[in-house]
Amino acid sequence: MEQRSERKPARVVFGLLLGGMLLLIMVLVAWRAHHVRFFLAHGWETYQVVSVEPLTKDTKRPASWKSLTFDEIRFSVPTDGGIEMRTHPSPIGERDCPQIELGSGRKLTVLYGNIQSSDVESSVDYFRSLPPGIPPSRAKLVADVYAASPESFHWMMPGDRLAELDFMLSQKQTVCMSNTEAVMIRQEDQWDGLLTIFGNYASFAWESHDFRQGGSLLFETPPGTDVEWIKQICETVQIDLSRQESTNLPSE
């Protein structure tokens, strides 16, 4: 009888400790419910993470480089391999696309065009629907998605930052190309541009901050060759948003 009476207090203490631990766990889960859901969704996933480098404006190039202007976009290209100009039908607008062959298998295609008002409204509505803290810039958004990593998560992370990171990780499969080798961003007063290099192809996509104008430079280079010339061309890009009509002919 004495042994049974001695066991009762021990059982009571054990029950109290177990109940206290369960209560503590429930409180912590309720306090950090969003964090728990984030950890369960992303904690064991493997994501592609690409560091994003800044791309600065630099219009100074050797005298051998040639400056070209197509409507609102102006840039310089090397002439060491010669320049051959062609035009192709545009897949995104009514204006033809100039294609510039720079020799040694290097090609550059210019895509541009005004954006329809309905698409502008869609872009504005889309960015309004995103978590707070995400800037209304497509180039910045894609750059942030590439750079997002679940390793940034911590249990004391503020809720708005957690929602932003959760969104970025959820967009990786849609936005990121698996063979991406480098990502660089240019942020100017009226427009942003994103340079993405993958294999022997690259794209420099730019868009005005009001979503009304945008375009791309598409690059092609032989496999295994240096792509520094692509970066150098993108550094010279200048956008004049007051120019919208096209002749498809380059001006000096």
Q: Answer yes or no: is 129 within a domain.
A: yes
Residue written as token pair 């800044």:
54
**Residue 119 located in a structural domain:** yes
Q: Are residues 25 and 141 in the same domain?
A: no
Burial class (CB in 10 A: 0-12, 13-18, 19+), 48: middle
Cα–Cα separations (whole angstroms), residue 247 to 72, 85, 217, 250: 11, 14, 18, 8
End-to-end CA distance of the chain: 105
Q: How confident is the model at residue 206 (pLDDT cuts 50, 70, 90)?
A: very high
Is 83 contained in some domain?
yes
For residue 249, name the pLDDT band (cuts at 50, 70, 90).
Answer: very low
Question: Which residue intervals of 64-151 are DSSP H helices?
Answer: 117-128, 138-147
79-109 per-position pLDDT tens digit: 887 889 888 776 655 567 889 999 888 999 9
Backbone phi, psi, residue 92, to 5°: -125, 0
**How many domains is the chain built from?**
2
Q: Is residue 44 part of a domain?
A: no
pLDDT of residue 178: 87
27 and 139 inside one domain: no
118 in any annotated domain: yes
Lowest mean pLDDT among 6-10, 161-165, 234-238: 6-10
Q: Is the pLDDT of residue 16 over 90?
A: no
Same domain, yes or no, for 26 and 70?
no
| 148/187 same-domain check | yes
The length of the chain in residues reads 252
Contact criterion met (CB below 8 Å) for 210 and 120: yes
Do 167 and 99 lie in one domain? The reply is yes
Flag whether 201 is in a domain.
Answer: yes
By residue range, what is the domain housing residue 25?
A: 2-31
Tell whether 20 and 104 lie within a shared domain: no
Left if phi > 0, otherwise alpha if psi is -120 to 50, otherwise beta: which for 105?
Answer: left
pLDDT for res 28: 57
**Least confident piece of the model among 1-15, 59-73, 223-237:** 1-15
Burial class (CB in 10 A: 0-12, 13-18, 19+), 248: middle
Is the pLDDT at 26 greater than 90? The verdict is no
